[in-house]
């Protein structure tokens, strides 16, 4: 269930009123004679006014934060942070699974299980690499070479055309433009967790275990 629209509007109204009130208080305290710069040349007038506005804005923001009104960017970022952590966890599982598959003592079926995991999440490695090399992707590059952008799959994100996307979120689908120019996405959802869980159970079942039964978690 999403946020209550009425509560959201009331919150925005409260924040607007608080900002207006605090701005007036700060302006009157810093510049009792008014925000308009006086007694200076026309050449420096605009620069001085901009300086005063910046100073007032900085103090207003601090007071707003102290009173519980968080920056909008802080409120928007958690879903992206959690999605990236989710991607990194999946990628780490994939790497461990790959190492197990290469072990001479592992059953040969583990290699097939690893390949099937990759088929289930085809964009995983490409998205992870784009997150890890965000500085290159932001320039549309891969190891110094320009990426040939491909048409975006609209089922993954509501964008048309060949565009560069550093991070996108459509519902539960988090994605980025990958090194091959395609936009990749993964469901940050229980369904993806089910893929990981089922894969892990397949790996456990592929080995022959010795000893008594144990229950986990301990």
Write down the pTM of the prediction: 0.72
Q: What is the pLDDT along the chain (218 residues), one digit of tens a residue?
A: 445 666 666 677 888 888 899 999 998 898 887 777 666 667 778 888 888 889 999 999 999 888 888 887 777 888 999 999 999 999 999 999 999 999 999 999 999 999 999 999 999 999 999 999 989 998 999 888 999 999 988 888 888 888 899 899 999 999 999 999 999 999 999 999 999 999 999 999 999 888 888 888 88
What's the confidence (pLDDT) of residue 37?
66
Task: Write the secondary structure of 93-138 as one string of H (helix), E (strand) and C (coil).
Answer: HHHHHHHHHHCCCCCCHHHHHHHHHHHHCCCHHHHHHHHHCHHHHC
The first and second tokens of residue 91, run together, are 């990628």
What's the confidence (pLDDT) of residue 218?
81
What's the confidence (pLDDT) of residue 45?
80
What's the confidence (pLDDT) of residue 59?
93
What's the confidence (pLDDT) of residue 67?
87
What's the confidence (pLDDT) of residue 198?
97
What's the confidence (pLDDT) of residue 2?
46
What's the confidence (pLDDT) of residue 52?
87
What's the confidence (pLDDT) of residue 173?
93
What's the confidence (pLDDT) of residue 1?
42
């Amino acid at each position: 269930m999403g946020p209550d629209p009425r509560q959201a509007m009331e919150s925005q109204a409260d924040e607007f009123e608080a900002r207006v009130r605090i701005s007036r208080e700060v302006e009157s305290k810093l510049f009792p004679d008014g925000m308009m710069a006086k007694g200076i040349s026309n050449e420096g007038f605009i620069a001085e006014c901009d300086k005063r506005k910046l100073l007032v804005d900085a103090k207003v923001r601090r007071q707003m934060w102290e009173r519980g009104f968080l920056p909008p960017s802080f409120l928007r970022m958690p879903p992206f942070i959690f999605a990236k952590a989710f991607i990194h966890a999946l990628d780490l599982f994939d790497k461990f699974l790959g190492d197990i598959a290469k072990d001479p003592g592992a059953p040969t079926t583990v290699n097939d299980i690893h390949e099937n995991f990759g088929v289930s999440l085809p964009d995983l490695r490409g998205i992870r690499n784009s997150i890890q090399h965000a500085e290159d992707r932001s320039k549309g590059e891969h190891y110094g070479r320009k990426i040939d952008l491909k048409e975006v799959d609209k089922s993954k994100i509501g964008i048309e055309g060949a565009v560069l996307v550093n991070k996108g979120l459509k519902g539960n689908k988090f994605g980025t433009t990958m090194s091959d120019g395609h936009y990749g996405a993964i469901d940050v959802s229980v369904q993806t967790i089910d893929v990981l869980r089922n894969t892990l159970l397949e790996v456990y079942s592929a080995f022959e275990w010795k000893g008594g039964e144990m229950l986990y978690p301990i």
